[in-house]
Every structure is written in structure tokens, then in C-alpha cells.
Amino acid sequence: MSEAVPVHGRSKNLVLAAMIFAVAMTFIDQTIVSIAVPEIQTKLGLSATGVQWAVNAYLLALASLFAFGGRLADTLGHRRMVTIGVIVFAAASAMCGATPKGSLAEAWLITFRALQGLGGAIMFPAALAIVVQTYEVRERGKALATFFGISGALTAIGPIMGGFLTQWTWRAIFWVNLPVAAVAILLIALSKPVTDFRPAKMDYRGLALITGGIVLGVFGFQQAPLWGWSNPAIGICIAAGLVLLLVFYRVQRGTDSPLIDMDIFRNRTFLVENLVLGISMLVFVPLFLFSSEYAQISLGKQAKDAGVFLLYFFIGFAIATQIGGRMLDRVGAKRPVTMGCVLAAVGFFLWAQKVTTLDFGKQQWFIVLAGAGMGFMLSPASTDAVNQAGRYSYGEATGITQTIRNYAASLGLAVLGTTLVSRMRTNVANQLVAQGTPRGVADHLAAGLAQMQSSGSSGSGSGSGSSGNGAPDLSQIPHFYKVAFAQSTATIFYAMAGIMAAAAIVAFVGLKGGVAPEAVAAVDAVEVPEGGPTQGAAEATT
């Protein structure tokens, strides 16, 4: 049995298109919702805590259930689970758009946002596994470059789309998912993707442990900029989450049919690629938040215009993703992943030097360079990690990589968000002193302004393109505050450059050169239990 059922070129492209439409909703929702947060809060009368949970419930469910979604895909069938995921996500989106006004609004919106996260967690690993199994090893770089390139572009389009849709009604930012889901279901039905899967029992004990660990850890990171790291609840949440994850590891080692087979981390390439992805996600997701806030606060752009600002990043990202994917197919992952990390580090470093000019024209090419670096490494690293799955199965491997990426993104938002607030306190005070304000008064005023920015940053926990409901009114932001925020953003971008340099070192030292051999990815097929059906056959009889 071959690792992927032979598929003609046109059919392969149809499968790829179906999977892109399937996951499109999750990528759009990463950025589109936060644009409408202030209006949702006003129209529905939500509390500040309620609106924050409307954002975070989706992220918590998504991050904590990726491993579960990957396991379901590998045991129940990839096509079945991507279809169920699309339906769940679309239905939850419709219900979010139908949120009633009044006392029920808060609980309603939070519940269905969490259900959206569940749908995304079920859908994404299955969709990526289908693409992987549809294409042979030496074609996957190009295919997944297209997959991640288009998906990444949708993340950038989200704020622009959200800005225009919100002018009609905030409910449209959820309803826009319905036609996308309809196209995805139609394409899945037409392309009929066929993949291998292995029926097995679900490890619910492991599921409870990893879900609890991820939820507590991510929640702690999300709340840190708002509550402050000195709040004991932050340390308790993060520590408890880490303890549960350690227990999860120990339990998985002794479980016959584990949620995650920990032996996969004995594969050096898989381990290193996940380290690189985790380090880079400290930067990639927080970038959306901080660059968008900079565009709105320091450059005075509206939310939808801040989305256009991010498009420059994705111009470089989309082009470099295609080059990196093709390079992966020709020479392996080490070269594009290492080069991409280096380019991103240089791009962020040069960008940081120009943000205090408050002149977008002096920054745009460095924004493109930073985006190119991230695009160059992200798709090859993700593809190479999944290629190493072998008998551990593609859905499970994807679930692992996505869990690590989301956990790291939450950590990045927390640490960099706290750094931004700290630098704002210092920079605002220095700007006030330069204008003749006494140091004591300046420090007091700066503390209040920095705390206001902390509320705005944490309220946009998705790492998307909004300054949240706590950001200053754009029409009333004084020049000294714009300069102070630009100085603080420069510190963040310098930190991002350092993080990507660290990722480059890990990739250069840890990865081996050359293309992954066909046999590595083909092991999965021979591990299917004797008489075990392929997905196409199984789903026809169940």
C-alpha cells in the first residue's frame, strides 16, 4: 500500500482548493473578530471581562483541542472529520452572528465562540493530513507552500474585511463564514479525498490532562499583561498547567493507545522543527497585534487601514512561501528554514530602526523583508515536521505542531505584551519630562497611560489587528504618546529579531541537510492494521 492514494494532477489541485477553503474560516477569524470588538461590546452591552472572554474562549478551545482533533482524524477518518469540523465551525459562526441582546448575550457569545474553536481544532489537522497524503513527499513543499501562503494572506485580509463588514453590521463578521463553508463542503464532495486511517480507541484520560494543562497555561499567559506578573493567580495557573502537562507526558508513556505517542519526539528532525516553530511563533502571532497597534496609535491609521499596513508583510510572506516550498522539495528543509529565520531577524532589526520616524514609507521594504523571512521558513518547517510522522500518523503530528505553536504564541503575547507596557511607562515618562513635566508627576501619569495600553493589548488576545477597546482615541492622541509608543514598538521588534536569530541557530545546528526519504513518510501505510480500510472504503460503509 502506498502512503498516498494516486491522484491525478487536476484532482490533487481540487483537493488542495477544498482544504484551503475549509481552513480559511479559522485564519480569517484570527483577525477579523477583534476589529469589531468595541462595537460588539457597545451593541450587546458586554462587560470588559465578557468581551475579553469572547475573544479568548475561541483561542483556548482551539489551542487545547488540536491534539484531540488530530487523533480523531487519524482514527475516524480525515475526510469525515474535516467535513464535521467545517459544519461545526459554520454553525457556531451563525449562532455567534445571531447573539441576542440582553442578559443572555455574554454567555451565548462565549459559548459559541468556544464551539468555533472546537470546530477549528477538529478541522485543521484533518485538512492538513489530507493535503500531505494527497501529494508525494517531493511535491509537498510546493503544495503546502500554496496552502500556507493563501491561508496567511487570509489572516491579513481579515482586518480589512472586518473593517468594511462592521460598517454594515458586526454580525456580518461571523456570517461571512457561511458561504466559505458552503464552498468548502461542495469542493470536498467533488474532490472526494481518500486517505489512510487507523481505527483506535480514544484516550480520554490523556485528553483531560492535556486540555487542562493547555487551558490553564494559555489562560495564565493571556491574563498576565492585564493582571500583572506579580499577581499570584498568574503563577498558579501557569504552574498548574505545566504540572498537568508533565503528568500527561508520564501517563502517555504508559498508555497502550495514547492520545500522543511520545516516541515521535525521539525523531530528531521532528523535535527540532517543533522547537523552531515554537520559537518563531513567539514572534509571528504577536506581530499582528503590535504592528497593528503601532499603525493605529503612532501612525494614526484606522483599524481597516492598519490591515492594509499588514498586507506589506504578507506580500513578502506569500512570495517567499512559494520559494521556500520549492526549495524544500529540491534540497530539504535545513536551508530554507535557516535562511528564513535569518532573513526575518534582519528584517525585524531594520524595521525596528525605522518605526520611530513615524514614516511608513521608510519602513515598507523592511516589513516586506520580515514577512519574506517568516514565509521562507514557516511552510518548510511545518511540512518537514509532518513528513517525519511515519507510523505516528499525519493528523496526530499536525495536532502536536499546532498545539506547540499556539502555546508559544500565547507565551509570546504575554511576555512581549508585558515588555511593551513596561517600556511605555518609561518612554511616556521620559517624553513628559522632556516637555518640562516634573519627574514625579511624569512617572505617575505614565503609569496610568501604560495601564490603559495594557488593557488594550490584552483585550486583543488573538494577536490580531486591533488595539482593543482600551486604546486611546485616535483623534486625541498627543504627539509625545505616538513617539513613546513607537519607541516601545522598536524594543519589541528588536526582541523579535533576537528571537528569530535564536530560531536560526537552532535550525542550523539541529537540522540535517537533504530531502526526507520516501520511506520515512511511507511507514504509516504499512502500520495500518491488517484488513484496515482506507478512508474512502471505510466511510462508504459507516
- In three-state form (DSSP H/G/I as H, E/B as E, the rest C), the secondary structure along 43-78 is HHCCCHHHHHHHHHHHHHHHHHHHHHHHHHHHHHCH
What is the model's pLDDT at position 525?
39
Q: What's the rounded Cα separation, in Å, for the pair 361 and 363?
A: 5
Q: What's the rounded Cα separation, in Å, for the pair 493 and 350?
A: 9
* CA diameter of the chain: 81
CATH number of 9-202+259-526: 1.20.1250.20
Judge contact between 385 and 140, C-beta under 8 A.
no
CB within 8 A of 418, min separation 6: which ones?
A: 224, 225, 229
CB within 8 A of 206, min separation 6: which ones?
A: 248, 251, 252, 255, 258, 259, 260
Return the bridge partners of 196, or none: 534
Length of the chain: 542
Cell 505517542 sits on residue = 261
Q: Angle at the Cα of 207 (from 205 to 208), degrees rounded to 5?
A: 65
Block means of pLDDT (10 residues each) for the chain, length 542 residues?
45 91 85 75 82 81 89 90 96 94 90 94 92 86 86 73 81 91 94 81 90 90 82 93 94 87 88 96 87 85 70 89 91 94 97 94 94 93 85 77 88 86 86 83 73 51 38 67 92 97 96 64 38 38 34
> So where are the chain's domains?
9-202+259-526, 203-258
Judge contact between 353 and 406, C-beta under 8 A.
no
Judge contact between 468 and 460, C-beta under 8 A.
yes
| pTM given for the model | 0.83
Judge contact between 292 and 310, C-beta under 8 A.
yes
Q: Angle at the Cα of 352 (from 375 to 485), degrees rounded to 5?
A: 120
Which grid cell sits at 129? Answer: 493530513
Q: What's the rounded Cα separation, in Å, for the pair 36 and 48?
A: 14
**528 vs 2, 137, 146, 390, CA distance in Å?**
11, 19, 29, 12
